[in-house]
Amino acid sequence: MERLYNDVAFRISRLVTKAYSTSFSLAVSCLKKEKRDAIYSIYGFVRFADEIVDTFHDYSKQELLSRFEAEYYTALKDGISLNPVLHSFQLTVKKYDIPDELIRAFLESMKADLSKTGSYTKPEIERYIYGSAEVVGLMCLIVFVNGDKAAYEQLMRPARKLGSAFQKVNFLRDLGADYRTLNRSYFPDIDVSHFSESDKQRLVNEITAEFDEALSGIRILPRDSRLPVFTAYLYYRRLLKKIGRTPAGKLVSSRIRVNDFMKSLIMAASWCRAKMNLV
């Protein structure tokens, strides 16, 4: 029966992933089941923590996040949780020996979001992006390389660059909403109320450079992990390209997205390039 519960827990993490991110879910679906379930469990964990911070405005977010963190560590110690997302995540952490430093760094960034308003300084945003995005990429990398420590060390920097680029694209996409709803700006030295074309282009150039460095790592990932990462990479580069073509004023007033038809084209292009070994 325990095996059945484990299976149910991973299925629920998969459901969470599909419900919150069709693009990420589409990319992950390319993996073999064992790795796919592990990535779903990581996404479920980080998604629920992020949901506490960004969505549950009518509740004590500090209390909910503290409880979530405590329940995770109890699950890790006991080897079981009746929260299926936490249960599947702790199984993945143990199976792949994911360092606790990565998980703590992520939770610290979530806690920072509970109290931070206004603009981040450069050291603050570097620390925040490391915890909120780069470490998530590193957790996934451990799964992608099957826990191979030498491969992990070799790919750490490109993985961090990819996580950083993904997060900065999200920041740009949500620029107006973060400013209006949360009174928050993730870009140091940029006044969102006077966001200009030069501001936008500088950020696009910065993110493009990170994507270029990340691609070198994607190309040497194990073949069975390369396709989903490359798919996500193409999706976010497409989103960045669309952001680059959008007037700065519109970025502040609306949320840019890639439509479902284009997502399907990206998936097809990624599959073809991977099959022809052109990644």
Look at residue 279 in the predicted model and tell me its pLDDT: 60
Q: What is the pTM of this model?
A: 0.89
Look at residue 207 in the predicted model and tell me its pLDDT: 97
Rounded mean pLDDT of the chain?
Answer: 89
- Biggest distance spanned by C-alpha atoms of the chain: 59
Q: Going from the N-terminus, what domains does the chain have, and what CATH number goes with each? A: 1-96 (1.10.600.10), 104-279 (1.10.600.10)
Look at residue 146 in the predicted model and tell me its pLDDT: 93
Distance of alpha carbon 44 from alpha carbon 151, whole angstroms: 25
Task: List all residues 6 or more positions away from 222 whose beta carbon is below 8 Å from its beta carbon.
Answer: 144, 145, 146, 151
Q: What is the CA radius of gyration of the chain?
A: 19
pLDDT band at 269 (very low <50, low <70, confident <90, very high): low
Q: Which residue has the tokens 């936008």?
A: 200
Is 60 exceeded by the pLDDT of residue 29? yes
pLDDT digits (tens, 9 = 90+) for 230-244: 888 988 998 999 999
pLDDT digits (tens, 9 = 90+) for 64-90: 999 999 999 999 999 999 999 999 999
Look at residue 102 in the predicted model and tell me its pLDDT: 98
pLDDT digits (tens, 9 = 90+) for 163-222: 999 999 999 988 888 887 777 788 888 888 889 999 999 999 999 999 999 999 999 999
Is 90 exceeded by the pLDDT of residue 60? yes
Report residue 122 as tokens: 């450069």
Look at residue 79 in the predicted model and tell me its pLDDT: 97
Look at residue 235 in the predicted model and tell me its pLDDT: 87
Distance of alpha carbon 83 from alpha carbon 73, whole angstroms: 12
Look at residue 262 in the predicted model and tell me its pLDDT: 59
Look at residue 17 in the predicted model and tell me its pLDDT: 93
For residues 150-159, give the mean pLDDT: 96
Helix then strand then coil, in percent of the chain rounded to 5, is 80, 0, 20
Percent of the chain with pLDDT over 90: 63
Burial group, residue 236, by CB count within 10 angstroms (0-12, 13-18, 19+)? buried
